[in-house]
Amino acid sequence: MAPAARARTTPRVRRDRKSASSWTRLPDAQLLGQRLRDLKLRIAGTPLEHCIDKLYTELEDKGLTFRPHCWLAEEWFSPDGVPGIAIPFYLSHRRLMRLERRMMREVEGGNEKWMMRILRHEAGHAIDSAFRLRRRRRWREIFGPASRPYPDSYRPRPGSRRFVQHLGSWYAQSHPTEDFAETFAVWLKPRASWKRSYERWPALEKLRYVDEVMAELKGAVPLVRTRVQIDPISVERRTLDQLYRSRRAHHVSDRPRTTDDQLLRVFTTERATARRMRAATLIRRLKLPLCRTVARELDTSEYLVHQVLRLLIERCRTLGLYARDPVRVAKHRIERLVCRIARLYLSGSAGRHVL
């Protein structure tokens, strides 16, 4: 009876697998009509699984037994009170990553280095929930009250050394919980020389606090151990088209020009010739003279200009931009761009979505 049963069920399993992956060969127009739940997406067997295992190894190397559970959702997040990490669905398949890039212009976490940076950050939120760290008086004294309202936008101070720098856009400055998550991520990164990198920075006190707390938590069992998944993609009834319409409407900014828009006026996504230089490479080569020139023109610190350049380089890499002009012409245009962005920060009118 057993062999006969296998003979009947095996073809059905194969048909199910074939139908579950048939969407990968659809053109964009037809793929957008697919419901998310019908894609049968999973983490197992994808590059995501490797990165999650890598995160677990990093936690183990620090002596922590805590392991945040992970699931696929619409976007990156770690819900308050849930010691887990939601990962964007599109990272589970290259076909969906191509669609994400076409629809949203970038794939957040689209390479292993970027993905690990975000995973470490979200792990900071998850361990905060797992051990209820935000309730500790010392945590509140160092990072601020987690109950503080979460802003729709924030005005970062690029010159401040009271915060670590990890994800970009001075994200640690947006909220006390983000400050902790960013600090945890810097602490967790393997072979990170944070004691030297943040020497003489007030942010070093935060890193030392995290180091002390994590030493206390070695081998500790989490206080919160729920494995609930919030908004998993496996039950999402919307089509990809409906999802992207919602996401694109949400990302529309009232600003006349975002930084990405300004970058696209200076650079291009087209590589017309093999000799055309990458925009990130060009800015990096011009970094020192640009820092001096812009700082002198705006009467500000070279440190602030350096941080603006650092984020512009990161955005150029993400958008895959190339120089469209000869170096002499591009240098002048880049200088004007950096001046505009730096002025926004100096005036306090640069919000979360400028960079």
Same domain membership, residue 269 and residue 154: no
Domain assignment present for residue 66? The answer is yes
pLDDT higher than 90, residue 176: yes
Same domain membership, residue 205 and residue 86: yes
Domain assignment present for residue 199? The answer is yes
Using CB atoms within 10 Å of the CB of residue 235, give its burial: 0 to 12 exposed, 13 to 18 middle, 19+ buried.
exposed
pLDDT higher than 80, residue 354: no
Same domain membership, residue 179 and residue 109: yes
Residue-number span of the structural domain to which 131 is assigned? 47-216
pTM of this prediction exceeds 0.95: no
Q: How far apart are CA 93 and CA 101, in angstroms?
A: 13
Model confidence pLDDT, tens digit, residues 118-145: 999 999 999 999 999 999 999 999 999 9
* Residue pointed to by tokens 């070093």: 204
Instruction: Tell me how many domains the chain contains.
Output: 2
Measured in degrees and rounded to the nearest 5, phi and psi for residue 144 equal 105, 170
Domain assignment present for residue 171? The answer is yes
User: For the chain, first and last CA: distance in Å?
Assistant: 64
Q: How far apart are CA 69 and CA 124, in angstroms?
A: 13
Token code pair at residue 277:
């230089």
Smallest CA-to-CA distance from 336 within 302, 293, 299, 301 is with 293
Question: Which residue type sits at 275?
Answer: R
Token code pair at residue 36:
């998310």
Model confidence pLDDT, tens digit, residues 305-350: 888 888 888 888 888 899 887 887 788 889 888 888 887 766 654 4
Same domain membership, residue 163 and residue 70: yes
Residues 315/263, Cβ–Cβ less than 8 Å: yes
* Residue pointed to by tokens 């180091």: 211
Same domain membership, residue 185 and residue 59: yes
Measured in degrees and rounded to the nearest 5, phi and psi for residue 129 equal -70, -40
Outline where DSSP puts E strands in the chain.
69-73, 84-88, 267-268, 322-323
Q: How far apart are CA 52 and CA 45, in angstroms?
A: 12
Same domain membership, residue 186 and residue 93: yes
Domain assignment present for residue 333? The answer is yes
Q: Given 216, 245, 271, which residue is the final one in a domain?
A: 216
Residue 145 neighbours by CB under 8 Å, 6+ apart: 176
**Which segment of 2-11, 90-99, 118-127, 129-138 scores lowest on mean pLDDT?**
2-11
